Structure 1
Amino acid sequence: METEIVNYILSNKEKHYRIAYSYVKNKDDALDIVQDTILKALKYQHTLREPHYLNTWFIKILINTCKTHLKKQQRYIDVEDDILEILDEPYLDTYRSFELEDALDHLSYNEKTIILLRYFEQFELKEVSTVMDQNLSTVKSTLYRALKKLKVLLEKV
């Protein structure tokens, strides 16, 4: 099992870094988070019951490590629906990707995670629900709510 985990980690290191960076927006912190995640995965490899769930299992550890890091850094802010109404116009940037990143940062932690896994990492909604420990219907409703918020935020640009 350890060999499978190591091979998986080596073949997906860029993807793991991208996910971590999308949360912390800092190269060094993202690298630390990936390293911590690898250590946790190797330490708790006995908890992986089905090898074909390795990707989902590892991403779940990675996302939880990001969340823990953000809480420690006190940078995590959960934005509620009514707060979006009073937000100032977002800073205009010349690159569309930065505008999307800024908009994603205005979503709640769960909304952002679901968007990242679904559209940036091409997870199926069932896989997202497994990673998030949520019902499939909850993931779907959160996804649609997050997409509406993103639309509002990006239309202001």
Structure 2
Amino acid sequence: MKNPDMNQLIAVRITERQDNLYRLAFYYVKNQDDALDIVQESIRKALASSSKIKDVASIDSWLYKIIVRTALDVLRKKKKLTVTDDETIEYLRSGEEDHYPDLDLQKALEGLSVKYKTVVVLRFFEDLKLDEIAEVLEENVSTVKTRLYKALELLRINMTEREETKRWKKN
């Protein structure tokens, strides 16, 4: 049975965190329309299953979990086809060299598998604690720690290789 008070609390939390929820969805699909669809579908799922919430304190991680799962479902359906906006396509055509370190990080993150990328995004971009990430992913905290450590190690290696490649190309 749906609880109107819980639905109201969920709606308030969604409103308060709408930018974070959208950013998380966008991170997965790299497309504004798809990210909005993911958020909308996630809101529908959250309100439809509000009776499953046992602890009000876990609403935030529960919402993140719904966003992540919905985004992964969309990616599976699209078979990881990434739609790119016209501005990005024009930039890539221009052949300009990347001068922004955050773009290198973005590329390095793209090279990670979903399980590693998700942990990094939730920890550093959404500022979730390890136990919150474990709740979102339904994993042990030790598993999350291991994945985060491995992801950071892979990012370090990838970023170092990219920097060496850039230096080599300049010489």
TM-score with structure 2 setting the length = 0.80
- Preserved CA contact (<8 Å) 1:24 1:70: yes
Q: 2:69 aligns with which of 52, 59, 64?
A: 64
- State the partner residue of 1:12: 17
Q: Deviations over 1:123-149 (max 9, x none)?
A: 111111111111111111111000011
Alignment gaps of 5+ in structure 1: 77-90
The structure that is helix-richer by fraction is 2
Whole-angstrom distance in 1 between the partners of 2:97 and 2:125: 23
Listed as ranges, the matches of 1:1-157 within 5 Å are 1-75=6-80, 93-155=98-160, 156-157=162-163
Whole-angstrom distance in 1 between the partners of 2:50 and 2:97: 45
- Preserved CA contact (<8 Å) 1:92 1:99: no
Distance 1:109 1:92, change over 3 A: farther
Q: SS at the partner of 2:69?
A: helix
RMSD: 1.4
Distance 1:92 1:109, change over 3 A: farther
- Residue identity matched to 1:149: L
Whole-angstrom distance in 2 between the partners of 1:94 and 1:70: 29
Identity between Structure 1 and Structure 2 (%): 38
- State the partner residue of 1:86: none
Shift of 1:92: 5.4
TM-score with structure 1 setting the length = 0.87
The structure with the larger Rg is 2
Segments of 4+ moved more than 2 angstroms: none
